[in-house]
Amino acid sequence: MHGDRLLLGPGPSTPYPEAVEALARPVLGHLDPEYLALIHETGDRLRQVFRTENPLTLPVSGTGSAGMEACLASLLEPGETVIVGVNGYFGERLCEVAHRGGARVVRVEAPWGTALDPADVLAAHRAHPQAALVAVVAAETSTGVRNDVAPLGPELAQTDTLLLVDAVTALGGTPLEVDAWQIDACYSASQKCLGAPPGLAPVTLGPRAVAKMRNRTTPIHSFYLDLGLLHDYFLASPPRYHHTASSTLAYALHAGLGRLLEEGVESVWDRHARVGALLQSELPELGFSLVAPDGSRLPQLTTAVLPDGLEDGPARTRLLAEYGIEVGGGLGDLAGRAWRIGLMGHAATERSVVTLLGATRELLK
Ligand code: PLP
């Protein structure tokens, strides 16, 4: 078994060849100066993709959920209020993680498949001005909906409330501007539009978030995901041992980011926009109907209800077994009725679209 796949699900995506090759480099010790230089250079690359000058920008060990937990654990104290935008599975997860950490969660909801209204989020903040944090998912992978986070930062920046953005599916796929949009904290994952394998969660904290973390009165309840300790490990001089971080994964992320930056951040956004639009224009011809409304549809993740004659389980089994293509199933009400199709990173190409459409046509025969 060697699992040669075209990964067109909600992630992981098929990584860039450079990222896969990088996995074969010799393993370095977690305090080796070459490893720490690699982390610093990866931080420089991440700053370019996050579009930030934040010094505290680093890859947390773990997947996107580790980035989510690291930010919530480091920025919230028990009993503090967090306002969470919820219009899909990952907004729900933010609520769950914040609740488990002892925060009071205020939900701002929109139906699954529609975008959050930023005015609703800001209204919730005016009703709960003492909130420590507002948290929103920029790209809801469960539905393929883009949430507009740009209007939130300027108003929150006038207050003591921080803005946390989940950019797990957004980063490197659709425009995201950490500094220009006044985002205080943002996390992502290596395995989607950054084109590397899963295992690392890039995180960036701005000065207001760093100050909130440094001035807290209770210890961060997670030792492993304490962004203060991770700063002291990766970025302080001398570095202070915290855990045995993986140079193998760092090489791969560094290489994926290198490929992305060679193409250019804006060109990569354009490529995702172009191939997403191509897929979304072709799917209705095969009888699929798109879930997210025009205007808040993500190019890198399309949710589409299946046409009559295509049964979810058997069709995805055949796609994988006969064509080596992975797509994701629907979540929530769309389970068993829809596919989630990712065109992310190295897999965001016309070739992926044509291959998937060709295979789907065979399944429909
Ligand atoms: N947030 C969003 C928007 C996601 O799409 C995902 C994963 O798909 C996560 C968080 C969690 O990331 P992971 O599965 O890498 O832990």
- The answer to whether 50 touches 204, Cβ cutoff 8 Å, is yes
**CA 66 to ligand 1 center in whole angstroms:** 9
Band of pLDDT at residue 2, cut at 50, 70 and 90: confident
**Is a pLDDT exceeding 90 seen at residue 226?**
yes
Q: Whose CA is nearest to atom 2 of ligand 1?
A: 168
**CA 211 to ligand 1 center in whole angstroms:** 27
User: Can you give the pLDDT at residue 67?
Assistant: 99
**CA 362 to ligand 1 center in whole angstroms:** 31
Q: Whose CA is nearest to atom 14 of ligand 1?
A: 64
Whole-angstrom distance, CA of residue 271 vs CA of residue 350: 9
Q: Whose CA is nearest to atom 5 of ligand 1?
A: 141
- Within 138-256, strands assigned E span 139-140, 145-146, 162-166, 185-187, 200-205
Ligand 1 site residues (CB inside 6 A) read: 10-11, 63-65, 68, 90, 137, 141, 166, 168-169, 189, 198
Average pLDDT over residues 73-93: 98
Band of pLDDT at residue 53, cut at 50, 70 and 90: very high
pLDDT in tens, 10-24: 999 999 999 999 999
User: Can you give the pLDDT at residue 230?
Assistant: 98
- In the numeric block, which tokens belong to residue 200? 């690392």
SS3 state of residue 268:
helix
Report in angstroms the alpha-carbon separations of 30 from 27, 33, 113, 255, 361. 9, 9, 43, 18, 49
ipTM of the shown complex: 0.99
CB atoms within 10 A of CB 309: 10
